[in-house]
Amino acid sequence: MKLTKKSHACVRLEKDGRTLVLDPGMFTEEDAVRGADALLVTHEHPDHFDEGRLRAALDADPAVELWTLRSVADRLSAAYPGRVRTVGHGDAFTAAGFDVEVHGELHAVIHPDLPRVTNVGFLVDGAVFHPGDALTVPDRPVDTLLLPVMAPWNKISEVIDYVREVRPRRAYDIHDALLTDLARPIYDGQIGALGGTDHRRLAPGTSADV
């Protein structure tokens, strides 16, 4: 697969001429969903789910389908019958030729006074795992972890321990729009030194083979 990093939590995966896009939110470039064959959304927060952008992608190509959890699907399914699929933990499906497994149920705790929304992670082709806004550990090995490095709900010690627990062969940063350039060397150094894996960062728009 070819993985292309888009801004914040969005990535594009390409294989055999088809494209799968995960979590195109409000911090993501306008072209993030262009040419997508299928879309995956982990949860309802706007930095992962831009409703207008998804509607535009579904309107532009009647073959495009969306897989997501109920809180997102309920806002779109009536307008796109048969094209918005509701999934949850333990489900498995094929989207645009990619085999996808669903892991996880809840968003990480932001604060005890705030209710937790639902959140799912997607393991694509048994290799690339996007956890959304959670530190979900799949019950199977992960080759490439998309690592949420900076969010209101985490701190760097938790990020490092998450990498240690998942034990991927490599980890690429996501959820990084709020991370300033001044902080990036600190995160790079500490996660790389303490995480126990090959820790990498892609600039938005750049790609790697996974």
- Domains of the chain by start residue, with CATH: 2-209 (3.60.15.10)
Q: What residue type is 114 in one-letter code?
A: L
**66 token code pair:** 């969306």
Distant-in-sequence, close-in-space partners of 36: CB < 8 Å, separation ≥ 6:
12, 19, 20, 21, 57, 64
CA distances 49 to 9, 74, 90, 129, Å, are 10, 13, 22, 18
pLDDT one-digit tens code per residue, 72-108 = 999 999 999 999 999 999 999 999 999 999 999 999 9
Coil, helix or strand at residue 96 = coil
Q: Report which secondary-structure segment, H or E, holds 53.
A: helix 51-60
**Terminal-to-terminal C-alpha distance of the chain:** 5
Distance between CA atoms of 54 and 153, rounded to whole angstroms? Answer: 25
Q: What is the pLDDT of residue 52?
A: 95
Q: How far apart are CA 128 and CA 108, in angstroms?
A: 20
Our CA angle for 52, 38, 31, nearest 5°, is 50
Check residue 81 and give its pLDDT. 96
Note the pTM of the prediction, 2 decimals. Answer: 0.97
The dihedral sign for the CA sequence 110, 111, 114, 119: positive
For the chain, what is the mean pLDDT? 97
Distance of CA 141 to the CA centre of its chain: 17
As given in the structure block, the two tokens for residue 93 are: 């499906």
Q: In this structure, how many other beta carbons lie within 10 angstroms of the beta carbon of residue 200?
A: 16
Q: Could you tell me if 24 and 7 are in contact, meaning their C-beta atoms sit under 8 angstroms apart?
A: no
Query: Residues in the chain with pLDDT < 50?
Result: none
In sequence order, the 6+-apart residues with CB closer than 8 A to the CB of 124 are: 1, 13, 20, 98, 99, 100, 130
Q: HSE-up of 172 (CA within 13 Å, CB side)? A: 25
Determine the pLDDT at residue 174: 98
Return the structure tokens found at 9.
């939590």
